């Protein structure tokens, strides 16, 4: 009997790592039901666009992607953050088949089933247990919660995604274990506010491998560290219990000495206007203490310059703070007003050219700090996970580098390396953002 051809779906994933996790979940389910992914819109039976609605520029990008899909294919399902406010999409493209918001996996699947019923696929069970991944196979994002209980004035995520909803610890651990079994070497723990994990469920326990595990930042990090893969903690706010996790980084080599803390600013008045969680004047002292306790700790952060009302002295405060804190990795953004964000009503907007000047000044200052921090690594040995192989030099990352956002380590090797392999490299040279070295052990 001839097998019916599998229905084909073209998938566009826009936005942040959290949206990528949503895309992976939808694709995993669709593959499990026998759908195939198409490389192009015009060869597909249907197109799914997972949108981002964080900034107005992201909305424009999302609308553009929907437009392309409509033109090339015509059968389009829209999901993701922008789907939480469907009016704009409906107005621009009245012919889209369905629009759903973020994490509405079931609604997306229902829309697919209606437009394109699944066919029986005898290869169903061949699907790898971790699902189909959009990121390379050797690292994976692990989303531990949805939504956010904070109300930062520049952000509309709580409006789009709702309050914090944490996944049970055993569910997260099961997913992580499956990923590791399938070859994932690095787990990137993400959520809007990773250190708030479990607050909504009062740190409820669940059974994992015959023991009770609390849905709590420290407990989850500890258990994840036992799975054998690197565990990188992203989007952490400096709540007091983060101190315990620093200790864990010293005792469990898989819990990477790396924290991504989006400070966004340092000047007290700006932080107040931003309504940032855990904003406090003791942050510098805590960073100092963390570094004393865990000298290898790498800190990554993001900052917004030109927030409404930011004065020259606020900005200078930020530069001085940065100098003092010696943050290893920094991403900076010029403030952009987002439709629906309370900060739009603040007044005292900073002119665009001042924003640009401040952005330039911050990046220049950070480049010097980054170069200085990296220079300390010359002569050391670092473990490096290989992302891309080359004939003589391969590109990888040390424990201090998250994929896509941080620097790289370029390593030369006498024997060919494999993607996902972790090698030991002797660091010979550093520039502003990257390291260079030679493989000294496998
Ligand atoms: S912590 Fe603030 S910036 Fe981050 S998602 Fe929550 S409200 Fe938005």
Of 99-103, 136-140, 181-185, 216-220, the least confident:
136-140
**Hey, whose CA ends up nearest to atom 8 of ligand 1?**
155
Q: State which fold the 8-126 domain adopts.
A: Rossmann fold (3.40.50)
HEC string of 214-281 equals ECCHHHHHHHHHCCCCEEEECCCCCCCCHHHHHHHHHHCCCEEEEEECCCECCCHHHHHHHCCCCCCC
Q: How far is CA 316 from CA 64, 117, 368, 416, in A?
A: 39, 59, 16, 48
Residues of the chain within CATH 2.40.50.140 domain(s) are 381-441
Domain with CATH 3.80.30.20 in the chain: 139-375
**b/e code 394-416 from CB counts within 10 Å (16+ = b):** bbbbbbbbbbeebbbbbbebeee
Q: Is the pLDDT of residue 368 over 50?
A: yes
For the chain, the average pLDDT equals 89
Rounded to the nearest 5 degrees, what angle is found at the Cα of 313, between the Cα atoms of 274 and 155?
A: 15
Residue with tokens 């496998």: 442
Atom of ligand 1 minimally distant from the CA of 154: 3
Chain position carrying tokens 């192009």 = 40
CATH 3.80.30.20: does it fit domain 139-375?
yes
- Each residue of 370-407: pLDDT tens digit? 999 999 999 999 999 999 999 899 999 999 999 988 99
The structure tokens listed for 120 are: 């029986």
* Binding site membership of 148 for ligand 1 (Cβ less than 6 Å): yes
Q: Is the CB of 271 under 6 A from ligand 1?
A: no
Give dist(CA 389, CA 421) in Å, integer: 10
Q: Quick one: which of 227, 238, 213 has its CA closest to 297?
A: 238
Looking at residue 55, its pLDDT comes to 78
State in Å: Cα 150 to ligand 1 middle. Answer: 6
Q: Is the CB of 150 under 6 A from ligand 1?
A: yes
User: How many other CB atoms are there within 10 angstroms of residue 245's CB atom?
Assistant: 20
* Tens-digit pLDDT profile for residues 33-70: 678 889 899 889 999 999 988 778 888 899 999 999 99
Contacts (Cβ under 8 Å, ≥6 apart) of 87: none
Taking residues 178-192, report their average pLDDT. Answer: 87
- For residue 360, how far is its CA from the centre of ligand 1 (angstroms)? 25
Q: Quick one: CATH architecture of 381-441?
A: Beta Barrel (2.40)
**Pairwise CA distance, residues 287 & 323, whole Å:** 13
- The top-scoring range by mean pLDDT among 137-151, 227-241, 303-317, 338-352 is 303-317
Instruction: Compute the average pLDDT of residues 193-218.
Output: 95
Average pLDDT value for residue range 142-148 = 88
User: Token digits for 354?
Assistant: 């001042």
**From atom 1 of ligand 1, which residue's Cα is the shortest distance away?**
150
Ligand 1 atom at minimal distance to the Cα of residue 156: 8
Of the pLDDT bands very low, low, confident and very high (cuts 50, 70, 90), residue 228 is very high
Out of 157, 160, 275, give the residue to mutate to test ligand 1, the one with the largest number of ligand atoms within 8 Å of its CB: 157
Instruction: Take residue 264 and report the two structure tokens written for it.
Output: 């966004």
Q: What pLDDT is recorded for position 162?
A: 87
- Average of per-residue pLDDT across 81-102: 90
Please state, as a whole number, how many other Cβ atoms lie within 10 Å of the Cβ of residue 319.
16
Using CA positions, which residue lies closest to atom 5 of ligand 1?
Answer: 192
- Note the pLDDT of residue 213: 97
Task: Give the residue whose CA is nearest to atom 4 of ligand 1.
Answer: 192
> What is the tens place of the pLDDT at every residue in 155-178?
988 888 789 999 999 999 988 988
User: Distance, CA 153 to ligand 1 centroid (Å)?
Assistant: 9
Confidence of residue 438 (pLDDT cuts 50, 70, 90): very high
Q: Which residues contact 300 (CB under 8 A, 6 or more apart)?
A: 258, 259, 260, 261, 327, 328, 329, 330, 331, 402, 405, 406
Check if the beta carbon of residue 230 is closer than 8 Å to that of residue 184: no
Residue reference for tokens 């040279």: 429
Express each pLDDT in 272-287 by its tens digit.
999 987 666 689 999 9
* Cα–Cα separations (whole angstroms), residue 24 to 30, 50, 140: 10, 11, 10
Q: Which ranges in the chain are annotated with CATH 3.40.50.12160?
A: 8-126
Question: Left (φ > 0), alpha (ψ -120 to 50) or beta: where does 34 sit?
Answer: left
Predicted confidence band of residue 127 (pLDDT cuts 50, 70, 90): very low
Tell me the backbone φ, ψ of residue 330, rounded to 5 degrees.
-135, 135
pLDDT (0 to 100) of residue 32: 64
Say if ligand 1 is within 6 A of residue 192 CB: yes
Expressed in angstroms and rounded, the spacing between residue 52 Cα and the centre of ligand 1 is: 15
Q: Which residue has the higher pLDDT, 129 or 205?
A: 205
- Report the nearest atom of ligand 1 relative to the CA of 151: 7
- Ligand 1 atom closest to residue 148's alpha carbon, by position in its atom list: 6
Alpha carbon distance 65, 42 (integer Å): 14
Distance 192 CA to ligand 1 centre (A): 6
Atom of ligand 1 nearest to the CA of 277: 1
List the structure tokens of 122. 């005898």
pLDDT tier at 315, thresholds 50, 70, 90: very high
254 lines ligand 1 (CB under 6 A): no
> Residue 123: its pLDDT value, please?
40
The finding on whether 158 has its CB within 6 A of some atom of ligand 1 is yes
Ligand 1 centroid, distance to 53 Cα (angstroms): 14
Where residue 278 falls (left for φ over 0; alpha for ψ -120 to 50; beta otherwise) is left
CA distance 101 to 82: 7
306 pLDDT exceeds 80? yes
> Does ligand 1 come within 6 angstroms of the Cβ of 279?
no
Q: The pTM is what?
A: 0.80
Mutational test site, ligand 1, from 16, 144, 152, max ligand atoms within 8 Å of CB = 152
From the list 236, 406, 235, 409, the residue with the least C-alpha distance to 331 is 406
352 Cβ partners below 8 Å, 6+ apart? 306, 334
User: Does residue 203 have a pLDDT over 50?
Assistant: yes
């Amino acid at each position: 009997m001839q097998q019916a051809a599998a229905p084909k779906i073209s998938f566009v994933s826009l936005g942040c790592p959290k949206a990528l996790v949503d895309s992976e979940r939808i694709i995993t389910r669709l593959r499990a039901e026998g759908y195939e992914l198409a490389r192009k819109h015009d060869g597909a039976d249907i197109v799914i666009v997972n949108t981002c609605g964080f900034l107005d520029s992201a909305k424009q990008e999302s609308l553009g992607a929907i437009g392309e899909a409509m033109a090339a294919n015509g059968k389009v399902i829209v999901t993701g953050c922008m789907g939480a406010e469907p009016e704009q999409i409906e107005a621009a493209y009245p012919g889209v088949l369905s629009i759903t918001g973020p994490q509405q996996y079931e609604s997306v699947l229902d829309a697919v089933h209606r437009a394109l019923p699944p066919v029986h696929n005898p290869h169903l069970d061949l699907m790898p247990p971790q699902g189909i991944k959009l990121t390379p196979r050797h690292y994976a994002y692990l989303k531990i919660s949805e939504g956010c209980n904070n109300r930062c004035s520049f952000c509309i995520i709580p409006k789009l995604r709702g309050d914090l909803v944490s996944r049970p610890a055993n569910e997260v651990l099961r997913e992580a274990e499956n990923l590791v079994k399938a070859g994932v070497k690095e787990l990137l723990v993400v959520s809007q506010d990773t250190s708030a994990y479990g607050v909504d469920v009062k740190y409820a326990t669940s059974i994992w491998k015959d023991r009770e595990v609390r849905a709590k930042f420290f407990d989850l990090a500890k258990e994840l560290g036992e799975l054998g893969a690197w565990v990188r903690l992203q989007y952490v706010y400096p709540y007091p219990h983060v101190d315990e996790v620093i200790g864990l980084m010293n005792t469990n080599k898989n819990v990477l000495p790396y924290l991504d803390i989006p400070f966004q600013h340092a000047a007290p008045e700006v932080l107040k206007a931003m309504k940032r969680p855990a904003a406090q004047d003791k942050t510098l002292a805590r960073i100092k203490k963390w570094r004393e306790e865990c000298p290898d700790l790498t800190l990554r952060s993001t900052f917004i310059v030109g927030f409404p009302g930011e004065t020259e002295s606020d900005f200078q405060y930020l530069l001085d703070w940065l100098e003092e804190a010696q943050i290893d990795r920094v991403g900076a953004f010029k403030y952009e007003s987002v439709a629906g964000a309370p900060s739009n009503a603040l007044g005292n907007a900073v002119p665009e050219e001042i924003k640009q000047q401040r952005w330039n000044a911050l990046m220049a200052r950070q480049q010097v700090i980054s170069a200085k921090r990296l220079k300390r690594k010359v002569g050391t040995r670092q473990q490096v996970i290989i992302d891309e192989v080359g004939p003589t030099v391969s590109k990888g990352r040390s424990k201090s580098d998250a994929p896509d956002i941080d620097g790289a380590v370029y390593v030369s090797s006498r024997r060919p390396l494999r993607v996902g392999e972790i090698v030991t490299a002797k660091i010979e040279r550093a520039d502003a953002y990257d390291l260079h070295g030679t493989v000294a052990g496998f």
